[in-house]
Amino acid sequence: MSKVAVVYFTNTDVTGQLAKACISAAEQAGVKTCIHRILGEEIIEGRFKNADLFDRLADCDAIVFASPTYMGGPAAQFKAFADASSEYWSEQLWAGKVAAGITSGAAPNGDQTATLQYFSTLASQHGMFWVGLNVFHGYKEQALNRLGSQMGVVAESADGFVNSSDLETAAYLGRRVANITKQLKIKL
C-alpha cells in the first residue's frame, strides 16, 4: 500500500489546518499516511535533528512539504528541516518519490509562489517527481484554487481563519498525490 507523508511547520495553525486537510484526504483516498509538525525543540543550534522522521520518510512514496511564506520563502524552521535533508541527499533516498507543496501567507500574493518554487527545487534535488494542481482558478462549483497557483496550494489568511476553498484545495491536492502515488506504484 502506498504511503503519503506531510511535513510541515506552522505558527498560527493556518498551514497546520491545510496540512491536516491534505493528509486526511490522502487517507480517505486509500493510502497510509504520516504527518509531522516541525517543532522548535527539534532544531538544535540551527540544525534540524530527528533521524526517526527521516527513517519514516524513506519508507514513504510521497512527501508533501508545507510551510507559511515568510519574507518570500519558507519559514526558517522548515528550512532547517530541508537543510538537514542534505545528509540523505547523496544516497538519493527520496529519489522517485512524489512531492507536492502547500503554503500560506497574509496577503493574496505575498510571494507564496516563491515558497512553492523552493519546495519544487528541493524535490528536484532529491530526484522526486513534483505534482502541482491541475485545476484552474475558481474550478467549477467547488471553487478550488481560488488564488490561482498551479504549483501547489496557496492560502491567504491575515487573521488565522482558513478560507474553506483553501482547505478544499489542500484536500484536493491530498487526493491527487495519493492517486498519482498509487498509479505510479502499480506501473513500477
Res. 18 pLDDT band, cuts 50 70 90: very high
Task: Tell me, letter by letter, the H, E, C secondary structure of the chain.
Answer: CCEEEEEECCCCCHHHHHHHHHHHHHHHCCCEEEEEECCHHHEECCEECCHHHHHHHHCCCEEEEEEEEECCEECHHHHHHHHHCHHHHCCCCCCCCEEEEEEEECCCCCCHHHHHHHHHHHHHHCCCEECCCCCCCCEHHHCECCCCCCCCEEEECCCCCCCHHHHHHHHHHHHHHHHHHHHHHHHC
Place of cell 512553492: 116
Residue ranges of domains in the chain = 3-187
Res. 126 pLDDT band, cuts 50 70 90: very high
Under the phi-then-psi rule, with left for phi > 0, alpha for psi from -120 to 50, and beta for the rest, what region is 180? Answer: alpha
Res. 142 pLDDT band, cuts 50 70 90: low
pLDDT at 141: 57
86-103 in b/e form (b: 16+ CB < 10 A) is eebeeeebbeebbbbbbb
Residue 62 clears pLDDT 80, i.e. is over it: yes
**Per-residue cell: 137:** 482558478
pLDDT at 136: 76
Residue 140 clears pLDDT 90, i.e. is over it: no
Tens digits of per-residue pLDDT, 91-113? 899 999 999 999 999 888 779 99
pLDDT at 135: 85
Tens digits of per-residue pLDDT, 148-186? 889 999 999 988 899 999 999 999 999 999 999 999 876
Contact 108, 147 (CB under 8 A): yes
Q: Which superfamily does 3-187 belong to?
A: Flavodoxin domain (3.40.50.360)
What integer best gives the mean pLDDT of the chain? Answer: 93
Tens digits of per-residue pLDDT, 82-91? 999 998 888 8
Residue 55 clears pLDDT 90, i.e. is over it: yes
Residues 6+ apart with CB under 8 A from 160: 12, 13, 14
pLDDT above 90: percentage of residues in the chain: 80
Bridge-partner residues for 5, per DSSP? 34, 63
The more confident residue out of 188 and 57 is 57
